[in-house]
Amino acid sequence: MKTFLILGGGTGGTMVANKMSHHLDPAEWKIIVVDENENHYYQPGLLFIPFGIYSPADVVKPKRDFYPQNVEFVLSKIEMIEPDQNRVKLEKGKRMITYDTLVIATGSRIAPDETPGLLENGWHKNIFDFYTIEGATALSRFLKFWKGGQLVLNVAEMPIKCPVAPLEFLFLADWFFHERGIRDDVEIIFATPLPGAFTKPRASSILGDMLETKNIKIEADFNIMEVDNTQKAIRSYDEREIPFDLLVSVPTNMGSEVIERSCMGDELSFVPTDIHTLRAKKWENVWVIGDAGNTPTSKAGSVAHFMLDVVVENILRQMEGLEPSAKFDGHANCFIESGFDKGILIDFNYDVEPLPGKYPLPGFGPFSLLKESAVNHWGKMTFRWVYWNMLLKGEEMPFESQMSMAGKWK
Amino acid sequence: MTNTILENVEFDNEGFMIDPNAWTKEIAIELAKEEGIDDLTDNHWKIIDFCRQGATDTGGAPTLRSITKGTEVSTKELFQLYPKGPAKKVARISGLGKPEGCV
């Protein structure tokens, strides 16, 4: 009996488990998923919690509900991965699993301890993250009765999970304070290490203009050195200081601690991965899906979804003794919620930056690219259903894994 | 001012060298001047060397964090050597592409 081991049962791991269970003969293969957390969070939904659009119950379901019957789910911390020995040590029962094929889907996490002062006295009191259920919920309680002041949103360091999320937060904050009737009492500042609103030029300029229209000030090239909650200010390495009343932080993102313990990661504990085949660079029978790897693409569920078919095909090829095919193109597709029931869609890959135009989608679209529309907002809100009911199960979706130029304006 | 060293060097529209293999130390000295660094000290070179080395392994310019981790130069010091945006400045002076921060 051979073992197909998946570490991490979130978006990527669940999709791989579902797909592989159709392909592998249960008489020959055993599929095991290991994860230390019982809950599956719909992570795009965390963004809506601070503004009371979603409650925590809207974004959580038991992980077990999404695995097929022939998959063994083990709820345990992973102590160590030993890829040279093809085995993994678990904390629970000190179990040792020897694998034939390993998929790493351990994701990324926020590491607020990387920024001096961030975790001190203000954490979840007047300093919040919104990348965890705890942070998003605490922030929602704070915002409910906040009378206004200076709101600073800071991105500590790139790369981060879903690089558009900070922009969505800003747009939604602008909308939320309008609705509450206190927009004039709130100054919104976006302090980012990037040279502008976004990484790629066309999107950066269009999104930058939107920030300006909404009277959100941008402090670019801001590399945070420390948080000083006594003086209520953040400081950068080049000695700029921004005062705040409310600090919303997107802390440094890092890969799982088990990757670091097992010496499998780069300086941010992301696993070095071939950007086109999605195989771990150092180990032939180790594959990486989603944001656990260091591929220079958005760390987002849509990307994990576009990786899925390539990973599965390459694993099946390997099982037949064939070389992997280098098909992954870095495709990402993100709805950007822009407030006032509108949204923007961007679609891009390693080589093509987000462009304006139309995104054709039979039966649903077209969606406007790089432009606000109500249909895009509707697409974003519907996506939660699609995520739970189709995407995680690895069902056929009406999008191609590889990006298409159809509808895009050059 | 005539700048014969940079005359035949090709740059992309953001000012990064198109062909990292065409890079020389003389080019680095000129590019540093354009970035407002008149004198490249040993400490400057230590970082440039690290970036050139790292780039041959991975193909992209290293991020701020990989520079500080790889050279044991602190971020604070890095900002003193290359004021404002060190990662971007070093990438440009080292003849590499824009650092792959994200996306």
Sorted by where each starts, the structural domains of chain A and their CATH numbers stand as 2-107+256-319 (3.50.50.60), 112-252 (3.50.50.60), 332-391 (no CATH)
pLDDT value at residue B70 = 87
Mean predicted lDDT score pLDDT of chain B: 85
Mean predicted lDDT score pLDDT of chain A: 94
Select the more confidently predicted residue: B55 or A96.
A96
Output phi, psi for A329, to 5 deg. -110, 10
The residue assigned the tokens 């979603």 is A54
Least confident residue range of A123-132, A233-242, A247-256, B12-21:
B12-21
Pairwise CB contact (< 8 Å): A298 & B79:
no
- Amino acid identity at A394: G
Of B65, B79, B100, the CB nearest to A157: B65
Query: Which residues of B are less than 8 Å from A193 in CB distance?
Result: 101
Band (pLDDT 50/70/90 cuts) for residue B100 is: low
Pairwise CB contact (< 8 Å): A296 & B100:
yes
Return the structure tokens found at B13.
């529209």
To the nearest whole angstrom, how far is the Cα of A163 from the nearest Cα of chain B?
Answer: 7
Of A193, A237, A267, the CB nearest to B66: A267
Taking the C-alpha atoms of residue A273 and residue A282, their distance in angstroms, rounded to an integer, is: 8
pLDDT value at residue B62 = 82
To the nearest whole angstrom, how far is the Cα of A213 from the nearest Cα of chain B?
Answer: 25
Band (pLDDT 50/70/90 cuts) for residue B98 is: confident
Taking the C-alpha atoms of residue A179 and residue A176, their distance in angstroms, rounded to an integer, is: 5
ipTM: 0.73
Is B84 an 8 Å CB contact of chain A? yes
Is B43 an 8 Å CB contact of chain A? no
Q: Is the pLDDT of residue A142 over 50?
A: yes
The reply to whether B51 belongs to the active site is: no
Band (pLDDT 50/70/90 cuts) for residue B102 is: very low
The CA–CA distances, whole Å, from A118 to A12, A121, A187, A259 equal 30, 8, 21, 24
Of A199, A332, A348, the CB nearest to B101: A199
To the nearest whole angstrom, how far is the Cα of A204 from the nearest Cα of chain B?
Answer: 12
Taking the C-alpha atoms of residue A171 and residue A380, their distance in angstroms, rounded to an integer, is: 15
Catalytic-labelled residue, pool B1, B8, B21, B102? B102
Q: Is the pLDDT of residue B58 over 90?
A: no
Q: What is the dihedral of CA A310, A131, A74, A274, to 10 degrees?
A: 30
Query: Which residues of B are less than 8 Å from A221 in CB distance?
Result: 84-85
Is B59 an 8 Å CB contact of chain A? no
Taking the C-alpha atoms of residue A60 and residue B55, their distance in angstroms, rounded to an integer, is: 42
Least confident residue range of A70-74, A321-325, A331-335:
A331-335
| Interface residue ranges in chain A relative to chain B, Cβ cutoff 8 Å | 157-160, 163, 193-195, 198-200, 221, 223, 225, 237-238, 266-268, 296-298, 332, 348
Task: Report, as an integer, the average pLDDT of A323-336.
Answer: 91
- Compute the count of residue pairs across chains A and B with CB atoms less than 8 Å apart: 51
To the nearest whole angstrom, how far is the Cα of B4 from the nearest Cα of chain A?
Answer: 30
Task: Report, as an integer, the average pLDDT of A288-302.
Answer: 93
Of B75, B79, B103, the CB nearest to A163: B103
Taking the C-alpha atoms of residue B68 and residue B74, their distance in angstroms, rounded to an integer, is: 6
- Amino acid identity at B57: D
Of A221, A225, A266, the CB nearest to B84: A221
Query: Which residues of A are less than 8 Å from B66 in CB distance?
Result: 266-267
To the nearest whole angstrom, how far is the Cα of B1 from the nearest Cα of chain A?
Answer: 30
Strands A60-62 and A39-41: antiparallel
Query: Which residues of A are less than 8 Å from B77 in CB distance?
Result: none
Return the structure tokens found at B98.
């824009």
pLDDT value at residue B59 = 59
pLDDT value at residue A405 = 85
